Amino acid sequence: MDIASYLRCFEESLASYSGDDPLDPWDRFVDFLERRQPAGGGSEMSLVFDALVQRFLNVDQYANDVRYVNYCIRCASYRADPATLYAHVFSRGVGSRTAALYLAWARHFEQKGMKDQADAVYLKALENQAQPEDTLLHEYRQFQSRTRTEPPASGARVPLQNSQLTNQMSPQKKAATGSPSKLPLRRTVTTTSRAEASGLQRPSQDGGARTVSEYSEEALVHDGVEFCFEEVRAEKYFRKIRERQERERRENMQQQLRQQEQEVQRLQSMLQQVNQGLEACGGSHCATLQAPIFSSSSRSRRSVGLRLHSDLSLIQEAAGTGSGSEATRPPPVLSDCSGTAEPQAPGSSAQRNPDELGAAPLHCGLAPEPEEKFDVSQGGAANFSHVTPNSSLGFVQATPSRALPSPTVNTREALGVIMDMFQAPTFLDEPFQGASMLHRAAAEPDPDLETGVVPLVPEPPASAPFTIFQDYEDKENGSAAVPFERSRPARALTELSGPRADRPNEAPSELIPDESTMWGARYTSLAACPNSTTDFAPLAQFVSTPFAHKTPFGGYFFLAEENNGDDENVFIRRQTKKLSPIMEQSPADDAAAAGAPLLPPSARQGTIMADGFASSCLSMTQPPPPPALLSFRDQTLGPAEASGGEAHASPLQNPLRPSREPFQILEDPERPGSPEPDQSRLGDVPMSPQCAPKASAEPDRTGDVPMSPAAPGGLQLVSDPWDPDRISELLSRLRPPLTSHPCCYSWPCAVPSIGPKKTLSMGSSSLRVDAVLGQGAFATVFQATDPVTSDRMVLKVQKPANPWEFYINTCLDARLPPAVRHLFGSIRSAHLFLDGSIMLGELHNYGTLLNAVNLFRAQSDRVMPPPLVLHFAVCILHTVELLHAARIVHADIKPDNFLLGERFLETRSFDADGVNHGLVLIDLGQSIDMALFPECTAFTARCLTSGFQCTEMLSGKPWSYQTDYFGIAGTVYCLLFGTYMQVVKEGGVWRTTGTFRRKPHADLWLDLFHTLLNVPDCGAAPGLQGLRRRLAAVLQQHYSSKLATLKSRLVVQLLENHRARR
């Protein structure tokens, strides 16, 4: 039986082997064979070894197994060219740490007389720390002593040899065919050395070969400076440019001279005419006409010359070059006048400054252009800046002062971001940085305003560290209702009327005088405000939503432009262009504004004021109707409401008042409920200055029931779902009472003072307040960190207390499936104090939808790309759908009440039914729990604090869920157009004033808005789901591929914006 058949049998038997050491049977098999054939059969044994080596070549387990390596060596010993096999197995990682392989390999090289290769193998073995090391070292030393007599391998060659070794071991198929001795040499294509400049040069390599540079070395040296090829070429190019410029300049100059000559001739002829006229009319005008009076030709000529000269210098001054001095200027002119002028003979300043001369007219020609442009924007500004822009719309773009904030601040911010990442709990000083930054931004324009010089683009200091260009949007987290910062508009407004420091803590009512004087002073077309409280209303409204603090900057910006109309900075013009569109007003609004100067504050804010409504006010010649805080449920609305209510006594209401009672089903007389609402009411009194008029407001409010006689039969009409009394009453009826909720805590004390860097302890836990996220008339929102868990959250501090928001939160918890709960802002716990409340809520870091809209406005596109709008619209519809299913009416849906959370950054799914889109609806403080009302309840009050007033409110119809539909429409519109929605009623149908013609899928959008704005009655819901399906289908069909890219783009912007804000 020969070995081949043994091998076959053995391999068959292997199939049944199930141990974990498959080499073991081979081991025994080889042993068996060797015992049978102690000598000879060598060539046949190679078969076995080949099979063995082949079989385990790729088995990592045996790569450094001594048995296997030995088999490899034995296998190689049967080969004609063992080195090939060594290299081959080695290339597969076999024996890389086994000394035996290296030793066999090196010995083979040594036997062949290839000392260098052998040396390289030893070095490689040492480098790989082959085991056993002592054997290896011993062998290497032996090898070195054997080879010492021969020319030693120099150390400098090591890298080279390494590479040879590498080469030698690379492709085995080719290598196997070559003879071992030639192999390394043949593969040495690259001769690598150490760094050319620093390493040793091997004379045999470099010194021997003469080299010729195949480039023109002389061309590369210019005046001792080296040139690169491009510079050689550029030099020629520049020479040509210079020559051309020279030529142009010469032509310009000649033209200039020709023009001068013509001018002189013209003036001379004029002078002659005048002289003739003078002569004709005798000396009667001598006294008045001075220059021409000297009728002697020489004098008159000189005067012409002087005039001409002065013209020129004027031109020069206009051009800002002003290089021609008075002294040098006249001669050429005079010489021209005297007729001796030759174009080529100037020899004076005229020639020296041909450029300036040429430039002058140019500049003059250019100058008006920017002015015109600015005029346009001024028009826009004037149109708009006495409008308190709708806070929820906000000022979209960074104003110059914000666009290029001081670099140091930015650097600090950038550093802050990094620090933040690593030291999450230690960013205590951030708030102050942020505050100071904002403060600076706000303060910057002041001096400018006063001096009338506004450096629109502050040149960054020479040492500018690194201005990371960022449009600072609000620093709002926009978490929960975040009403807004009242200090900001206050400051801005007062500054307009004069630099007067305004402290953030001033009660809003104190602002009123400033407000009105401001308005009066600046816009004389406005009538004096007769009633400061009414005036407060718009202000309060302005204040009631986040982002309004942009307004001041906007105001500054335009003021600045007026002052600075001739600023030619291109960049700023670009900015203006970006800014102005958002201020566009519909003609309807302007008309209204023209008619009723006092109306605009609300109308122009982008809140929706129907034409009809405006005109009805006009006809009454009533004081402005009242963007009053009519029914802001949190009880700070007193004054506004008082006045507003009266002002409201518009035609609609007065006649209807008598019919109020029958409908006032739920207006139960207030009865003492649980202590908690009492508390809030108690706290109410001392707290808000607006409360003073409250008592008087009371009757008015109840009278504020514009009943629609057309109310559908089964409808339960409730006037005002936000009525504080009703709210407290509803809360008091809760069983169990809200205060028994495990996350609701009542404290028999006042709200602790909260500010950045303060640590707040509530019971056992403590919170460190990091920063103010937003501040408004009703609430201040802080970012806080739990020092134990490093958990970050928002604190909404509100005075007086607002337990209602927490109640709605509990409703959501109870009624929504847990999987979709995250679509709505959640409140972890509520702390009710005697005079206020603190709510702990989730932090959503990436700004609001409005913020996103503004990010896009900052770019060339101006608006959010349609696919994203579609996506957001689908998300919004879905969210609201779920909310309504839980019988909650949000009642304040607007772009700034949608937050983008972390989820938005993470999710990749665009499923229409997906709930991971990351859009979070917040601020449920105004929400209405329909479950507390009987079926088919409808409301009649007009919500004037909200950015949106639904069409039903505008037309005096009862409403319920419609306000949310309207809110959706307004939000989607804002996404789509980047401006606020305006609605008009035409032929009994409400429609937006937007132009859809150029929008993709205009039909779809028109249909959406039509559906949302024209809900037939409270019973017939428009079916958000159907709308959503249609939008999703379009999205899927047209944009499924683009959406991900667009979103990631937005995400990048959000991240940048987020970082920049902090």
Partner 1 sequence: MSLFGTASSFGTGGTGVFGSTTTDSHNPMKDVEVTSPPDDSISCLAFSPPTMPGNFLIAGSWANDVSWLLSQSIEIYADRNQGWILCDGSKVFTASCDKTAKMWDLNSNQAMQIAQHDGPIKSIHWIKAPNYSCIMTGSWDKTLKFWDTRSPNPMMSLQMPERCYCADVVYPMAVVATAERGLIVYQLENQPSEFRRIDSPLKHQHRCVAIFKDKQNKPTGFALGSIEGRVAIHYINPPNPAKDNFTFKCHRSNGTNTTTPQDIYAVNAISFHPVHGTLATVGSDGRFSFWDKDARTKLKTSEQLDQPITACCFNHNGNIFAYASSYDWSKGHEYYNPQKKNYIFLRNAAEELKPRNKKW
Q: Which of residues 235-274 bind partner 1 (CB under 8 A)?
A: 236-238, 240
Distance separating alpha carbons of residues 196 and 549, to the nearest angstrom: 63
Torsion of CA 247, 248, 249, 251, to 10 degrees: 90
Nearer to partner 1, 32 or 229 (CB): 229
Binding mask 855-884 for partner 1 (x = CB under 8 A): ----xxx---x-------------------
Q: Is 20 in the site for partner 1 (CB under 8 A)?
A: no
Task: Report the residue number, 205 or 297, with the smaller CB distance to partner 1.
Answer: 205
Which positions from 164 through 223 interact with partner 1, judged by CB under 8 A? 166-167, 169-171, 187, 189-199, 208-216, 219-220
CB of 852 to partner 1, least distance (A): 14
Rounded CA gap, 151 and 113, in Å? 13
Q: Return the range that interacts with partner 1 (CB under 8 A); candidates 157-165, 701-709, 717-725, 747-755.
A: 157-165
Tell me which stretch binds partner 1 (CB under 8 A): 313-321, 546-554, 762-770, 1040-1048: 1040-1048
From the CB of 566, what's the least distance to partner 1, in Å? 17
Region binding partner 1 by CB under 8 A among candidate stretches 412-420, 549-557, 771-779, 908-916: 412-420
CB closer to partner 1 out of 536 and 904: 904
**CB of residue 436 vs partner 1: minimum separation in angstroms?**
20
Asked if residue 232 binds partner 1 (CB under 8 A), the reply is: yes
The smaller minimum CB distance to partner 1, of residues 187 and 633, is found at: 187
Question: CA-CA distance, 451 to 904, in Å (whole number)?
Answer: 46
Stretch that binds partner 1, among 44-52, 316-324, 984-992, 1049-1057 (CB under 8 A): 1049-1057
- Kindly report the backbone phi and psi dihedral angles of residue 921, in degrees, each rounded to the nearest multiple of 5, phi listed first: -90, 125
Question: Please, what is the minimum distance in Å from the beta carbon of residue 54 to partner 1?
Answer: 18
Q: Which stretch binds partner 1 (CB under 8 A): 112-120, 461-469, 581-589, 707-715?
A: 461-469
List the one residue from 126, 176, 457, 1033 that touches partner 1 (CB under 8 A): 457
For the bound state, the minimum distance from the C-beta of residue 72 to partner 1, rounded and expressed in Å, comes to: 16
Q: Does 58 bind partner 1 (CB under 8 A)?
A: no
The DSSP line for 233-267 is HHHHHHHHHHHHHHHHHHHHHHHHHHHHHHHHHHH
Q: Among residues 65, 231, 670, 786, which is the contact residue for partner 1, using CB under 8 A?
A: 231
Stretch that binds partner 1, among 292-300, 739-747, 792-800, 1047-1055 (CB under 8 A): 1047-1055
CB atoms closer than 10 angstroms to residue 757: 13
Structure tokens at 1061: 């804000």
Q: Which residues contact 342 (CB under 8 A, 6 or more apart)?
A: none
Exposure pattern of 792-818 as b/e (b: 16+ CB <10 Å)? Answer: bbbbbbbbbbbbbbbbbbbbbeebbee
Helix extents (H) in 886-979 = 902-906, 951-955, 962-977
Q: Which of residues 126-155 bind partner 1 (CB under 8 A)?
A: none
294 is a contact residue toward partner 1 (CB under 8 A): no
Using a 10 angstrom Cβ sphere, with 0-12 exposed, 13-18 middle and 19 or more buried, the burial of residue 996 is middle
Cα-based distances in Å from 1020 to 410, 712, 956, 962, 987: 53, 12, 18, 10, 21
Backbone angles phi, psi at 68, to 5 degrees: -65, -45
CB-nearer residue toward partner 1: 887 or 1042: 1042
Among 183, 417, 769, 922, binds partner 1 (CB under 8 A): 417
- Considering the complex, what minimum distance in angstroms separates the CB of residue 567 from partner 1? 13
903 vs 1059 by CB, closer to partner 1? 1059
The number of beta carbons lying within 10 Å of the beta carbon of residue 587 is 8
Contact pick of 4, 14, 234, 314 for partner 1 (by CB under 8 A) = 234
93 in contact with partner 1 (CB under 8 A): yes
Q: Which one-letter DSSP state was computed for residue 131?
A: B
Question: Quick check: is 27 catalytic?
Answer: no
How near is the Cβ of 371 to partner 1 at its closest, in Å?
20
| Region of 245-253, 462-470, 620-628, 750-758 interacting with partner 1 (CB under 8 A) | 462-470
Minimal distance in Å, beta carbon 853 to partner 1?
A: 16
- 8 A C-beta contact, residue 778 and residue 483: yes
Question: For residues 1004 and 1027, is the Cβ–Cβ distance under 8 A?
Answer: no
Nearer to partner 1, 425 or 458 (CB): 458
Shortest separation between residue 81's beta carbon and partner 1, angstroms: 18
* CB closer to partner 1 out of 522 and 862: 862
Paired sense of beta strands 919-921 and 898-900, if any: antiparallel
| Interatomic CA distance for residues 882 and 354, integer angstroms | 75
Segment 674 to 703, residues that bind partner 1, using CB under 8 A: none
Minimum distance, C-beta of residue 465 to partner 1, in the bound complex (Å): 7
Catalytic-role residue among 567, 892, 964, 1017 = 892
Instruction: Identify whether the C-beta of residue 770 lies closer than 8 Å to the C-beta of residue 430.
Output: yes
Of 163 and 702, CB closest to partner 1 = 163
Lay out the site mask for partner 1 across 591-630 (x = CB under 8 A, - = otherwise): ----------------------------------------
**Hey, which residues between 806 and 865 contact partner 1 (CB under 8 A)?**
859-861, 865
Residues 469 to 498: which contact partner 1 by CB under 8 A? 469
**Cβ atoms < 10 Å from Cβ of 384:** 22
Is position 432 an interface residue for partner 1 (rule: CB under 8 A)?
no
Q: Which of residues 494-523 bind partner 1 (CB under 8 A)?
A: none
* Residue window 565-594: x/- pattern of binding to partner 1, with contact defined by CB under 8 A: ----xxx--x--------------------
Alpha-carbon distance 466 to 468, whole Å? Answer: 6
Applying CB under 8 A, what is the total number of residues that bind partner 1? 84
Q: From the CB of 155, what's the least distance to partner 1, in Å? A: 10
As a whole number of angstroms, the longest Cα–Cα distance in the chain is 150
Contact criterion met (CB below 8 Å) for 767 and 744: no
Nearer to partner 1, 33 or 232 (CB): 232
d(CA 726, CA 139) in angstroms, rounded, equals: 98
Q: What is the gyration radius of the CA atoms in the chain, in angstroms?
A: 43
Applying the rule CB under 8 A, the residues between 392 and 411 that interact with partner 1 are 403-404, 411
What's the length of the chain? 1062
- Considering only 132, 152, 159, 934, the residue that binds partner 1 (CB under 8 A) is 159
Does the protein bind partner 1 through residue 414 (CB under 8 A)?
yes
Beta bridge partners of 322: none
Amino acid at 212: V
Which one among 467, 615, 616, 1025 touches partner 1, defined by CB under 8 A? Answer: 467
Least distance in angstroms from the C-beta of 199 to partner 1: 8
- Closest separation in Å from C-beta 934 to partner 1: 51
Residue 569 or 696: which CB sits closer to partner 1? 569
Question: From CA 427, how far away is CA 417, in angstroms rounded?
Answer: 10
DSSP reduced 3-state for 452: coil
Q: Give residues with Cβ within 8 angstroms of 559, minimum separation 6.
A: 381, 385, 445, 449, 454, 496
Cα(96)–Cα(128) distance, rounded to whole angstroms?
A: 7
CA–CA distances in Å: residue 950 to residues 167, 517, 956, 959, 990: 79, 32, 10, 9, 10
163 vs 992 by CB, closer to partner 1? 163
Could you tell me which of 801, 533, 484, 725 has the C-alpha nearest to residue 641?
A: 533
Which residues are known catalytic residues? Answer: 892
